[in-house]
Amino acid sequence: MENTEESVEGGRSATVKKQSVQSMGLCIFLAGLSCFAQLYLFQPIMPELSRQFHVNPAESSFSVSFSTFGMAIGLFSGLFFADRVARKKLIAFALISSSLLTILSSFAGYFWLLIAINTVKGILLAGSASIIVAYIAEEVDPAVLGTVTSMNIAGNAVGGMSGRIVTTLLTGWYSWHAATFFIGVFCLLCGLLFAWLAPRSAHFRPVAINVRSKIGEMRRHLAIKPLLSVFILGAILLGCFVSVYNYLGFRLEAAPFSLPHHLIALIYLMYIIGTAGSLFGGIYSDRIGTRPVLILMMFLMFIALLFLFPSEILSVTAGLGIFTFAFFGAHAVASRVVAQFIPAERSTSISLYLLFYYLGSSILGTGTGLVMHQWGWKVFLFSLGIPVLAGLMLILTMSRSVNRGVWSSTDRSLKK
């Protein structure tokens, strides 16, 4: 009889646990989807913004660059106060308030008003993007941690891809105002569902941050040349990736391609290939070490740029696919190196990496646009080749100075 009762109780416990995982996974998925659908909302419609507001391609990129710049500001600020506020409250506030700003931006009649709203929105979104990992680690049973974490990654990818596709299609069929309003309302619903369904921060304990010691910790990290090199590599990776996706729409709209909006929207399906790149980077960095994989990915990014030169749609498609695969693979490996470098201060390392990462998006994303506006597509690709080669040289140089164990497939040397 007792065994039966224990069996029933165990079954109930397993059911509750399963339901909890499903609920938590859904909430994490919605948070990632909302964040990245909003962050790059205006990237696919930059040509339309350029026409509507009478600005050049480089100026239209401000709609993306200032969002990521705001994200960088938010990440930096979060180092000093994020551990003082309950995780769920901070994430819910970030998702809901940013969605309201997205809705507001759909009514913007002036370009610089749109940019100002996007900057504030980026700052708010950092409250979700930077805290969600800590929230998962604190509230999820270790037995299902991988499952819930994968939902976060899936939400990021689906949000980034579907947000761009939906925005492109709705802009072509209606207007950029309608597309922005739709995304804002959808993301607001996601934020409200998160606030309603997500478990409260039961295991969160507020921590008072010593500003002086935190700044000292950041200085120590920046003084480590191999670690600084990986931070710079992150800036190069996202800067080049965003640049290609920022301006490829202008290229495909113009002759000789002259593609309609619904076909241009399909380029964002390449994110599926990016997911494969992330898996490849993770698996093979375990097998052969991180350095060889990073070298391969940077080499592939350079080769992909060569495919983007010809005015042939098959060549451009292949180049974009290779470039996307290589970017996601390199980013996955670089993130791993940063996370392993100083395990006791991992949160600071990751925050600094993301700070450089999003600053690279802002700086290169706009700078390369100025090159394209002045000298055209081919010179634009040449200008991207320079930071890609610089990133490759950075990796080769690091191999001489960094502890060999950091680049191996194990963490043993990091514990010495």
Read out DSSP for 318-383?
Answer: HHHHHHHHHHHHHHHHHHHHHHHHSGGGHHHHHHHHHHHHHHHHHHHHHHHHHHHHHH-HHHHHHH
pLDDT at residue 186, rounded to an integer = 97
pLDDT at residue 44, rounded to an integer = 93
Domains delineated in the chain: 1-209 (1.20.1250.20), 210-416 (1.20.1250.20)
Q: In the numeric block, which tokens belong to residue 201?
A: 């921060």
Residues 6+ apart with CB under 8 A from 60: 46, 47, 49, 50, 53, 369
pLDDT at residue 344, rounded to an integer = 67
pLDDT at residue 119, rounded to an integer = 96
Length of the chain: 416
CB 88 within 8 A of CB 198: yes
pLDDT at residue 406, rounded to an integer = 52
pLDDT lower than 70: segments of the chain: 1-21, 144-147, 150, 344, 399-416
Q: In the numeric block, which tokens belong to residue 152?
A: 């976060």
Predicted model pTM: 0.84
CB 48 within 8 A of CB 261: no
Residue 200 CA to residue 195 CA, distance in Å, equals 9
pLDDT at residue 290, rounded to an integer = 87
pLDDT at residue 76, rounded to an integer = 86
pLDDT at residue 347, rounded to an integer = 72
- ∠ CA 132-283-349, nearest 5°, is 40
pLDDT at residue 233, rounded to an integer = 96
